[in-house]
Structure 1
Amino acid sequence: MVKQSAPDTARRSEKSRRAIYDAALALVGEVGYPKTTIEGIAARAGVGKQTIYRWWSSKADVLLEAFLDLSGQAGEGREQYVIPDTGDLAADLKGVLRATVDELRDPRFETPSRALAAEGLVNEELGREFVAKLLEPSLQLYVQRLRSAQDAGAVRPDIDPRIALELFVSPLAQRWLQHTGPISYAYTDTLVDYALYGLAPR
């Protein structure tokens, strides 16, 4: 009996954690961040409030971790992920941006993402958490890929990768957040071409 209790407990814990993730993301999409509460998440997940507070200190922590998990970037997976380096910078950037387009157009991701992004604009603390825990780790992947391109001579050595990545990441984010136009593979491919090759005749 002793040998069985640990795995059973682990399975119950993982099942509860998954239910909490799903409940948090569903609620923030349905009612928005301000109206999402720990009580509401607990009730929807079928767990007690104390179960949530045992693992997280606030609803922001719950939502951000659920969001990271949804993005496939939680834990070891996020640490190990890198943008591929095939030696073709344009192709590598286009590939990862196409994957981003797929994610942004996925309703499971889009609804809670918009809710959190919108709240982050008016809730300074949540905005900082959103940037630190979700956005910045992803941006650092672009920094690493651009630095490897600099080492290979494909990007000027004087370029600041952290600024350069904004040439293609920021327009995509703005278009998606503000609904200023469709997001597509063709759009992100064009962003990469403009960013890498400029606007002047070649």
Structure 2
Amino acid sequence: MPSVQPAAPATQSVNLAAEVARLREQLRLRDKALAHARKQAPPTFEGKIDPIVAEDWLRSVEAIFDHMELNDRQRVSCAVYLLKMDARIWWHTFSKKYYSAALLATNVDEFVTLVQGNLFVTNYAQKFNRLEKFAPEVVPTETLRAQRFIRGLKPMITRDVMMTSVELVSYAEVLDRELEAEYLEDRIWKDNAARRENY
């Protein structure tokens, strides 16, 4: 008599369905970005040694990507599509060497635990922007990106940003408020130091 296997829990099937839906949406967006990029008639790059040719190609492609308002992941996907011959071979070698699973995991971990610490807001933003490219699933929306950025700030700056904002939904808005808060905090420290010297 055949043994009867217990049915998988409903939560597993829901999670699997959600993951499949998310992956389908990612593929749809990638395909849409590639189709849009093809319509812009971008130049291909074959890996010529001439740096002027490479720079011209890069500027042309960046202008198209800026016009299309692509995110970093979409830019890489479209740029790789435009690489031909030696350039394509170089990319495959580079991506295997420099984007190993261990390196990606390390960068994701660093992003997830990133805090401002002793950094200025601009330095923290640079590091945040560099590392977030490795963890798009951690901040898939602009709102989550802004929230993650705020969570890593110094408590005083976070407080100032949160107190002055009705609703911050974009990373750019958050960064603007944080730079202003840091500037004001610096002014307060300087004013207090000047008062102490005068007493």
TM-score range, shorter-chain basis?
Answer: under 0.3
**TM-score, structure 2 normalization:** 0.27
**TM-score, structure 1 normalization:** 0.27
Relative contact order (C-alpha < 8 Å, sep 6+): which is higher? 1
Task: State the structure with more CA Rg.
Answer: 2
